[in-house]
A and B are shown apart, each in its own frame.
Chain A
Amino acid sequence: MNNEVRENHFTSRGWRTASYIYLAVMLVLLYAPVIVMIRYSFNDSRTNVVWQGFTTKYYAKLFHDPALWEIFFVTLFIAVCVTLLGTVVGTLGAVGLSRTRFPGRRIIEDFIYFPLVIPEIVLGIALLLLFNFNGIRLGIPTIIIGDTTLVLPYVFVTVKARLAGMDPSVEEASIDLGADRMYTFFHITMPAIMPGVISGAFMSFSLVLDELILTSFLADAATVTLPMKIYSMIKRGVTPEINALTTIIFVAITVAVVVYLVVSEMKDRKRLREEERRGEAAE
């Protein structure tokens, strides 16, 4: 039915062609920087200005740069810690705050959204002042605290959206039948909100991998993350190593996204098939 309306609303062939062309042009524009980045990572020249022939030597160079690997693992470590912490605190909070009333709850909920709207530089400075006033030394722990504060509202919102679409009577039934809150949380609520939790975690992870502003305010001199490294490399002048590095990151994330899509598609099909089978059995 929906399709029928869509067809009608989409009046002429000309419109359809025009809109496909528009979509194509926008995608080309959006991907132009990505293509340039990949192309120049294979350029046999120190500068990124002229094309001088194909080479993979910058990739080889990257793999033999121990300092870069260390930076990579530090960044990964921070991202994993932040994702775990942010997802657990954010998920528990979204469920808890939607089910309980206590004085000050509204204020807390308002402030959770703060990092979403406040520029990262303001949040970074505010946290820097906090650590400074309390004499806390900057380093990886302070970066983890800062980045977690940044990702919390994203997890909170995605989980809250799933909760809103959930039938509350299912939880009530579980409690009426004698299960306690914890049991209900793990066996009823969690499975229902899982997609929200996963997408919140995914968002957190990719945010932290690319996080520069907060991190550079909260890092000590000895700690360097990948975005910080890339930024300082760019400031010193463009080199093909950065292109090679970012091409690898791009390919890795693209592969991860495609795998995720394929897996969820397969799950969907499997579920549909099972439902069909169940339907047949019922008949």
Chain B
Amino acid sequence: MKGQKNLAKDTRKKQKHSRRETLSNAIMCGPITVWTVLFIILPVALLVFMSFLTKGPLGRIEYKFTLANYAEIFNPAYVNVVKESLLIAFWTTLITVLLGYPLAMVISKLKKKTSGIVTIAIMLPLWVSGLIITYSLVIMLNASGTVNTILMHLGLIKKPLQLLYNSFAVIVGMVYMFMPFAVLPMYSSIEKMDPGLLEASADLGASPAKTFFKVQLPLTSPGIFAAVILTFIPCIGYYMIADMLGGGKSMLIGNLIYRQFTVSRNWPFGAALSVVLAAIILIMVRIYTKLGGSMDDLA
């Protein structure tokens, strides 16, 4: 009798406990779930919806289903914009990885404390403001700017070079903007690598070059993938760098989208472009995760 009573009491206690459990789970998961649904899933759904609507006169939107916005992208003028964007993103990514990987290697060889400080030093200018760095590059690259002055003083050139307002300037700006972010995942993958493997390779008679290409590079490839994703993706969408350093001559997908929502007032077309841009990027991210990359390395 007494045992039964105790058991009942115990169950009640457990029920109470589990109810509180559910409540605290709801408090923890609730906000982020609601936020994600309201401010990520819903807006993206609206964007896709908008991309199938028709543009009316004066930038108004008519609720008539059409695929014309997607067909419009295949207009040669716009295909060129896409090509130019991908090309600039490609060169930026290549230069960033080629310059950033050795940098990550050098940092990984430093003492623990020094490497932490150097990493922060590399990130610091961007923490302050990428916008300002880009603006300083405008000052440095113009005809009477720092770079031209130094080159002329050294006697390497007679006339100032046209360094600003072209694809070169845009790529320089993008490399400045994304390299610090690309160094971090490469650094952490080099750091995680077991140095014993490199020694084993050397002991077995491989040349340093062979050890690097056959052992180190494959082992650190997840970091390189993350760096590529971290550079390539934002490159396609960033419109300010192309705006400031390209001088309006360099039109990238980001600039084109921006125009649809400001000057051209063609929201459905802008939405279609955004959907295509997002789709390209999601496919790339999918490949990245399929190859074993982690989303967490992208923050």
A-to-B contact residues, CB < 8 Å: 5-6, 8-11, 19-20, 22-23, 26-27, 30-34, 36-37, 40, 48-50, 88-90, 92-93, 95-97, 99-100, 102, 105, 108, 111-123, 125-130, 133, 145-146, 148-149, 152-154, 156-158, 160-161, 180-182, 185, 203, 206, 209-210, 212-213, 217, 227, 230-231, 234, 238, 242, 246, 249-250, 253-254, 257, 261
Contacts and interface: CB of A to CB of B under 8 A. Distances in A.
Contacts of B137: 33
Question: How many of chain B's residues touch chain A, expressed as a range?
Answer: 35 or more
Interface in B13-54: 17, 20-21, 24-25, 27-33, 35-37, 39-44, 46-47, 50
B144 A49 contact: yes
Nearest to A100: B25
Given A117-B233, A182-B24, A126 B44 contact: yes
A104 to B, nearest CB: 8
5 contacts: A33-B133, A49-B142, A112-B32, A119-B281, A157-B298
A128 to B, nearest CB: 7
A119 B277 contact: yes
Contact of A149 (B40, B198, B295): B40
Nearest to A120: B237
B122 to A, nearest CB: 6
Contacts of A118: 237, 278, 281
A227 B264 CA distance: 24
Given A120-B237, A129-B46, A242-B135, 13 more contacts: A23-B106, A23-B118, A32-B140, A33-B137, A89-B35, A115-B40, A117-B233, A121-B254, A122-B278, A128-B261, A149-B39, A157-B295, A249-B132
Contact of A130 (B39, B127, B198, B244): B39
Nearest to A24: B106
A125 B32 contact: no
B246 interface: no
Interface stretch (B69-77, B97-105, B161-169): B97-105
B128 A238 contact: no
Interface string B124-142: 1101111111011111101
B47 A111 contact: no
B44 A114 contact: yes
A203 to B, nearest CB: 8
A146 B138 CA distance: 29
B31 A121 contact: no
A33 B32 contact: no
B107 A34 contact: no
A203 B298 CA distance: 13
Contacts of B122: 26-27, 30
Nearest to B50: A129
B131 A210 contact: yes
A90 B131 CA distance: 27
B20 A127 contact: no
Given A102-B29, A122-B274, A36 B146 contact: yes
B139 A89 contact: no
B257 interface: yes
Interface string B167-202: 000000000100110000000000000011011000
Which of B132, B137, B261 has the most CB atoms of chain A within a 10 A radius of its CB? B132
B46 A116 contact: no
Given A34-B125, A108-B33, A234 B135 contact: yes
B258 interface: yes
Which of A20, A50, A129, A242 has the most CB atoms of chain B within a 10 A radius of its CB? A129
Q: Which 6 A-B pairs have the closest CB atoms?
A: A119-B237, A93-B32, A96-B28, A33-B136, A126-B43, A181-B24
Nearest to B261: A125
Given A23-B107, A33-B137, A246-B132, A119 B233 contact: yes
A230 B124 CA distance: 19
Which of B99, B195, B238, B270 has the most CB atoms of chain A within a 10 A radius of its CB? B195
A266 to B, nearest CB: 14
Contacts of A30: 122, 125, 176, 179-180
Contacts of A37: 132, 135-136, 139
Nearest to A178: B17
B287 interface: no
Nearest to A131: B43
Given A5-B195, A9-B199, A121-B258, A23 B103 contact: yes
